[in-house]
Structure 1
Amino acid sequence: MGDWQTDPTFAMCRALVDGAELASFAGGPFDVRAVMAAMRPETKSGFLLGQVPWERFPQGGDVRDAVHLLHSEGSRRGGTGVVGGMCANDMRAAAVLAVPFLIRIAADTGHPCRANALAVASCPARARHLGIASRDELLLHRADFQDGDLHDGYDDYGVEVTGYPAGWSVAAARAAITADTALLHPLLGDPDPSIRIYAAYTLATASDPDRTVRSSFRARLGAEQHPLVSAALVLATAEATRAHPHAPAIAWMRELWRDRTQAPEVRLAAAIGWLCLTDEPVPDDMRTAVDDLATDEHAHTMDDLPWMANAGGSHESGLQRCVRTMLHPDQPDPEDQDNLWASLPPALAPSPPAPPT
């Protein structure tokens, strides 16, 4: 990551630590939103990586090399692993610059790693999503932040581990995806189900004020035969609706989970989507239906959906965690079992050490 005191890629972050106003950097060379907006179409389509200022952002050189390796040699481990790993480590600024190139690799039907490229393309566009399974945050998708949305210099996303404003990275990534919706929409009908799932997952982060993206999900759902892909389209519709509320879509989601002719995966996705779109109490018939449908088999199957995979923990699947968190909040969190003493009665718990004499 470089030495904090000497690495020039941390110039803005160091200045912010020293008290500089974030707004003074808006639109400048360290604003990844501005860099993304200035990236020319021929740079993206021609993979002219030398025209992208990777060096301005933490570990930008590593991302550039990973994209080059992925594009030229089809190396999954050295390409998508770097981008996905940086996002998992809460470092998105440089990873954002890879998004247009990852989308183009995914659109290349002859590329051996297109599914892996698409799987990580939207990682920079989601700030807090790993381990999140609550109604409030599972599908939380804020609109792109602009300068006027900053509070005390930062937005609600806070900062990345480097000190870089996370909201800037997320906004830039979503803008990049929005700019490439024409490349992503055809992937909703790709022969590979995993491509269709990740196309929905990526498009769900696009800005969609005219509901074009959400309409494409509904249109594709009418032709989709794969239950898990259909479930992905339902969750993508819910995420897009969370960003751009639409009462008819919420009502449709409620009817969908009640429809016994639908596949269990679709009904479960619709129930979770509806819960994330409303603060209404959980209906009794929903609680009964979800408890019946959320079997171990379906939980395992739905872990192939990125929303569910990211929501899971070490002791329960994503579906199980969503069901527990949203429908049974009084149940104990299995993750707490990692702390042996937390589950013991007070009389059996170890006594605190005696104070020094």
Structure 2
Amino acid sequence: MTSEELVFDFERVRVHGIGVYEGTGLDVRAVVAGLSRDVRDGFRLDEVPWGRFSHAYGSGEDVLIHLSRMRCADAAAARDARSSLGNSVCHQGTTGSVAPLTVPFLLRIAEDQAAHERVNALVLVAAVACRNHWGNGSRAALLRVADPDDEVTFDGSGYPQNWSVRAGRDAIAADAHIPIALLDDLDPGVREAAACVLAASSGRAWEVSAALHERFRVEGHPRLRAGLVLAIAQLAREHRHEDAAGFTRACWSDPARPPEVRVAAALGWLCLVDDSAPEDLRAVLDELVTPELGRLMAEVPWLRQVDSHSGAGLTLTLKHMFDPAPRPTFPGTWGKPGRFVGWGKPGRFADDPLV
């Protein structure tokens, strides 16, 4: 395919099918796979074909400007750049085709101790690499990373979001060493967001799972412990790790475990198996789900996406899981229309008293 032909044509897709672009320079999965370690480590943004792909407002050519400004010494400028970038590439639940190309560079911003937007860089990576299931806390959706391959969805330009999400997940797998190292970061917000990023990885699953388990064994923050359980379960669900159902069951059935761990493990177990909820699990939930625990777990990222407004994420998730009636979805993680705010309110991690 010549450079003149490197323009995505939805009409061509309509006639010939999306497979016409598979493996070409317009397949973002192939482009992400072709980014060398030197380009990624060297932050060589000018060697990435941004303009070949798009976001909510058109060509992705401006993405490198936002990424560059996210590294600047001025905190306000870095924050504005991150907001503009997120608003463009992950817009109202839609992942733009240029979005996965940002992942290697956002990960490197996150590992830079001098960067101002470390947490939110990881939040954006997690958003790129996980299809958003707004407000859906059901057993089928809470830990679902992406749409099935046979359910192709498209962004505003007609580009298949399945490819974009997969490319984002592949980019995480290629640089998994970065978020794995960040699981031990001094900033609890970084640790929490790193776990969410790793849970969406498309590869190196056993290595990632081992790192999440290791962090879980030493993590002292209650909310982060709950999140790690769900991260382990999500990764296992995607990669069919049969031992995860046993791990989560052992956690929720162990009275010596903290309440947030037992409840998170119960949710994870329900998402990993098709069995009906046993009476002993229901008894655990009846005993441990209190208003206090609901407030603590409302900020766990998986539950925040179910309800980021009223803080009822845990209650709604349990209702969705035990009530088979379909539930409408709503933009629970995006705030005002068109404005990317990560998993909750703007500045959530900066203001949240995690320590």
Q: CA deviation at 1:205?
A: 1.0
Change (3 A) 1:306 1:92: farther
TM-aligned CA deviation for residue 203 of structure 1: 0.5
Task: Pick the aligned partner of 2:29 from 30, 33, 40.
Answer: 33
| 260, 268, 278: which one aligns with 2:273 | 278
Structure 2 distance, partners of 1:239, 1:28, is 31
Residue 142 of structure 2 corresponds to which residue in structure 1?
138
Q: Secondary structure at the match of 1:191?
A: coil
Question: 2:137 corresponds to which letter in structure 1?
Answer: A
The separation in 1 between residues aligned to 2:327 and 2:54, in whole angstroms, is: 39
For 2:64, the equivalent position in structure 1 comes to: 64
State whether structure 2 residue 180 is matched by structure 1 residue 202: no
Would you say the 8 A contact 2:136–2:329 is kept in 1?
A: no
Is 2:83 the partner of 1:81? yes
How many residue pairs get matched? 318
Question: Could you tell me whether the CA contact under 8 Å between 1:10 and 1:58 is conserved in 2?
Answer: no
- Kindly indicate whether residue 307 of structure 2 is the aligned counterpart of residue 312 of structure 1: yes
**Alignment partner, residue 12 of structure 1:** 9
Letter in 1 for 2:41: S
| Matches of 1:63 and 1:296, distance apart in 2 | 42
- The separation in 1 between residues aligned to 2:258 and 2:226, in whole angstroms, is 9
**Equivalent residue number for residue 152 of structure 1:** none
Amino acid aligned to 2:84: V
TM-score (norm 1): 0.82
In structure 1, what residue type is equivalent to 2:80? Answer: G
The 2-side partners of 1:123 and 1:210 are apart by 19
Cα distance in structure 2, aligned partners of 1:331 and 1:297: 28
1:112-142 alpha-carbon deviations (Å, 9 max, x no partner): 2111111111211111332221101111235
Aligned match of 2:343: none
Matched, 1:323 2:318: yes
| Residue identity matched to 2:90 | C
Conserved? CA contact 1:253–1:271, under 8 Å = yes
Structure label with greater radius of gyration: 1
* Structure 1 counterpart SS, 2:145: coil
CA contact (8 A) 2:133 2:329 kept: no
Alignment of 1:33-182 (within 5 A): 33-59=29-55, 60-73=60-73, 74=75, 75-85=77-87, 86-89=89-92, 90-141=94-145, 155-182=150-177
User: By how many angstroms is 1:259 displaced?
Assistant: 1.7
Q: Does the residue aligned with 1:71 lie in a helix, a strand or coil?
A: coil
The CA distance in 1 between the partners of 2:302 and 2:101, in whole Å, is 23
Give the Cα separation in 1 of the matches to 2:310 and 2:222: 26
Gaps in structure 2 of 5+ consecutive residues: 331-355
**Number of the residue aligned with 1:338:** none
TM-score, normalised via structure 2 length: 0.82
- CA shift, 1:313, in A, is 5.9
- Alignment-derived partner of residue 344 in structure 1: none
CA contact (8 A) 1:136 1:276 kept: yes
Cα distance in 1, alignment partners of residues 329 and 24 from structure 2: 46
**What is the CA–CA distance in structure 1 between the aligned matches of 2:291 and 2:85, rounded to whole Å?**
32
Distance 1:283 1:93 in 2: 43
- 8 Å CA contact 2:70–2:81 kept in 1: the answer is yes
Residue 241 of structure 1 corresponds to which residue in structure 2? 236
Identity of aligned residues (%): 35
Q: Which amino acid aligns with 2:193?
A: Y
* CA-to-aligned-CA distance 1:266-306 (integer Å, 9 cap, x gap): 11110110000011111222223223323333222223221
Q: Which has the higher contact order (CA 8 A, sep 6+)?
A: 2
Match of 1:339 in 2: none
Distance 1:296 1:127 in 2: 30
Measure the CA separation in 2 of the matches of 1:264 and 1:219: 20
1:223 correspondence with 2:229:
no
Q: Is the 8 A contact 1:208 1:214 kept in 2?
A: no
The one-letter amino acid paired with 1:254 is: R
Determine the C-alpha separation between the residues in 2 that align with 1:35 and 1:334. Answer: 33
Distance in 1 (CA, whole Å) between partners of 2:283 and 2:78 is 42
Change (3 A) 1:21 1:330: closer
CA distance, structure 1, for counterparts of residue 183 and residue 62 of structure 2: 31
Distance in 2, matches of 1:227 and 1:159, equals 38
Q: Any idea what the Cα deviations from partners look like across 1:288-329, whole Å, max 9, x if unmatched? A: 322332333322222322111112265562212111111244
Contiguous gaps of at least 5 residues in structure 1: 1-7, 150-154, 336-357
- CA RMSD of the aligned region, Å? 2.5
Alpha-carbon distance in structure 2 between the residues aligned to 1:56 and 1:334: 32
Check 1:97–1:209 CA distance in 2 against 1; reply closer, same or farther (3 A cut): closer
Distance in 1 separating the partners of 2:205 and 2:310 = 40
- CA spacing shift, 1:208–1:134, aligned 2, 3 Å: same
1:346 — aligned with what?
A: none
